[in-house]
Structure 1
Amino acid sequence: MIAVSERIAIPEHELIERAIRSSGPGGQNVNKVSTAIELRFFIWGSSALPDEVKQRLAKKRDQRITEAGEIIIQAQRFRSQEQNREDARARLAALVRTALEPPKPRVATKPTRSSQRKRLETKRLHGTLKQDRSKRHLSDE
């Protein structure tokens, strides 16, 4: 069981763990032992998460979340399988924790007087520049 918060915990049966061969340094150990862990968690199939948390998680723009709503975490930071397993679970819990709080609503603001003035001045200058171009073009003919 992965404790995400005091109210939410992900049960073991909702996780799919697979030991895979790790890449990178490690000598012969890398070629012989599958120390990396691939952790899969299906968002929509979880009974532990409330619906609004599931929706926020699925909407997140994170490369670890597939379009089908599956979170795939690969942990290969350590040389031992057990440490990588703990790392993958901690990273899953951290990812789910980010979706627990609803996002702060955006407050629409008005442009400042200064920015409005600058925009209109730039617009006027651009218009006169274009006008000047057309006058020169007509007089050349």
Structure 2
Amino acid sequence: MLTVTHAIVIAEAELIERFTRADGPGGQHVNRTESAVELRFDVASSPSLPDDVRARLLARRDRRMTDAGVLVIQARRFRDQARNRDDARERLAEIIREATVVAKKRVATKPTRASKERRLAGKNQRGATKRGRSRDWSRE
């Protein structure tokens, strides 16, 4: 069981783990052990997720999400399998926790008169600076 929040708990049967050989440091031993973890979680058909959380997860533009709605997390930060497994599960939980938060709706605002004037004054100042750098070729 992976506890994400007090309301969302994911069953072990929904998590698919695959272990592979990790790259990076570790000497000769790294060539024999499968310490990297690939964790797959089917967001699209998971009964553990509320519909609004599922919709927010699927709407995210995340390269880890496949077209079929499967979230794939690679964990190879540590040299032993158990720590990588815990790391992958914690990252999955964090992604789901982020999806439980509803983003505030943006309120459209208009720039104030003073801010428009400051912007135009800045543009005029910049233009004057650039004009001062140019040479007057008509006098030569």
Query: Under TM normalisation by the shorter chain, which class is it?
Result: 0.7 to 0.9
The 3-state SS of whatever aligns with 1:73 is strand
Structure 1-normalised TM-score?
0.80
In the alignment, which residue of structure 2 is the partner of 1:83? 83
Q: How many residues align?
A: 124
Q: How does 1:80-119 map to 2 (within 5 A)?
A: 80-117=80-117
Question: Partners of 1:78 and 1:53 in 2: how far apart?
Answer: 30
Deviations 1:28-73 (A, max 9, x none): 1111111100000010110000111001011112222223211110
In the alignment, which residue of structure 2 is the partner of 1:34? 34
Give the unaligned 5+ runs of structure 1: 123-141
How many percent of aligned residue pairs carry the same amino acid? 53
The 3-state SS of whatever aligns with 2:37 is strand
The alpha carbon displacement at 1:119 in A equals: 7.1
In the alignment, which residue of structure 2 is the partner of 1:129? none
The 3-state SS of whatever aligns with 1:99 is helix
Structure 2-normalised TM-score?
0.80
Which ranges of 4 or more aligned residues in structure 1 deviate by more than 3 Å? 115-122
Structure 1 residues 110-119 or 83-92, which shifts more? 110-119
Deviations 1:80-138 (A, max 9, x none): 1111111100110001000001111111111211344467889xxxxxxxxxxxxxxxx
Give the unaligned 5+ runs of structure 2: 123-140
Question: Partners of 2:67 and 2:111 in 1: how far apart?
Answer: 37
The 3-state SS of whatever aligns with 2:100 is coil
RMSD after superposition: 2.0
